[in-house]
Amino acid sequence: MKKQILAIAAVAFVAGAVMMSGCKKEDTTAPVITLTGGNQTQSLPSTAGNGTWTEPGFTAEDDEDGNVTANVNVSGTVNPNRKGSYVITYTVSDKAGNQASVTRTVTIVNDAEYLAGSYPNSTDSCAAGGGPFPWDTTANNIADVVTSDSVNNLIKINNFGAFGESINIWATVNGTNLTFPLPQSLGGTAQLTSIYITNPNPTAITSTTAPTAFTVKYQWNDGTNNDVCVSWYRR
């Protein structure tokens, strides 16, 4: 009789366990990934090749498995030495197979981008002895500015000083001024030899937010001419 009672109890226990397991709620909830800092914007390095980018961090939590940060797979790369947008993807799964995925966009920028674009109404005037400059008597000089892909605040002025569309001069933006490595070729024997940053008409940017104009007062020499000129770059 005692053995019979124990057998019945064992059967009841097993049946109860089966029923309990059958009633257990199915895990259908994916983990949650949290990115520290969200999307990122970073400037190019001031010296080519010296850029670095550090992952700001992330965590992942699951309602059943707890902290699953160690299981997160990170894919994608950031090149801090090249202007552009880069996407990093973070993916994790819990024990039930529920998967979560989020992305972070890292944008590498040139801080001088506000200067980029066309300056179709530009003029260039030259005068022996440094002036006066007949601004509106010279033909329009269609110039444009592009920013460096690898060095912050470095820009290239195409068609500098109306010397031709193939003449491109590099300059570094420094606040509201431009600094130029010297000398720079202006084609043939002509060279950009001096930049003036004193009045009248200094090297100046009118605004650090999408300026409508900037000026460059410079001197050039080709062995015969040694003129002082002013280029007025106007959108």
Pairwise CA distance, residues 215 & 71, whole Å: 56
Query: For position 217, what pLDDT does the model report?
Result: 83
Pairwise CA distance, residues 96 & 28, whole Å: 8
Query: For position 106, what pLDDT does the model report?
Result: 98
Query: For position 199, what pLDDT does the model report?
Result: 44
| Number of domains forming the structure of the chain | 2
H or E element at residue 213: strand 213-221
Tell whether 155 and 52 lie within a shared domain.
no
Boundary of a domain, candidates 60, 85, 109:
109
Query: For position 8, what pLDDT does the model report?
Result: 47
Residue 231 has pLDDT above 90, yes or no: no
* Structural domain of 125: 113-234
Q: Which residue has the higher pLDDT, 234 or 4?
A: 234
Query: For position 124, what pLDDT does the model report?
Result: 81
Q: Which residue has the higher pLDDT, 47 or 205?
A: 47
Tell whether 60 and 131 lie within a shared domain.
no
Residues 35-80: tens digit of each pLDDT: 999 999 999 999 999 999 999 999 999 999 999 999 999 999 999 9
Pairwise CA distance, residues 172 & 155, whole Å: 6
Tell whether 35 and 123 lie within a shared domain.
no
pTM for the full predicted model: 0.79
Residues 123-182: tens digit of each pLDDT: 887 776 555 555 444 556 788 999 999 999 999 999 888 788 889 999 999 877 888 999
Asked whether residue 208 is domain-assigned, the answer is yes
Q: Where are the beta strands (DSSP E) in 94-167?
A: 99-109, 117-127, 141-147, 154-158
**Cα–Cα–Cα angle for 62, 56, 35, nearest 5°?**
30
Burial code (b: 16+ CB inside 10 Å, e: under 16) for 149-160 equals: ebbbbbbebbbb
Residues 80-133: tens digit of each pLDDT: 999 999 999 999 999 999 999 999 999 999 999 989 999 888 888 777 655 555
Query: For position 37, what pLDDT does the model report?
Result: 95
Query: For position 228, what pLDDT does the model report?
Result: 83
Read off the pLDDT of each residue in 1-7 and give the average, rounded to a whole number.
50
Boundary of a domain, candidates 45, 77, 109:
109
Query: For position 225, what pLDDT does the model report?
Result: 77
Other C-beta atoms lying within 10 Å of the C-beta of residue 43: 15
Query: For position 142, what pLDDT does the model report?
Result: 82
Asked whether residue 179 is domain-assigned, the answer is yes
Tell whether 61 and 148 lie within a shared domain.
no
Asked whether residue 8 is domain-assigned, the answer is no
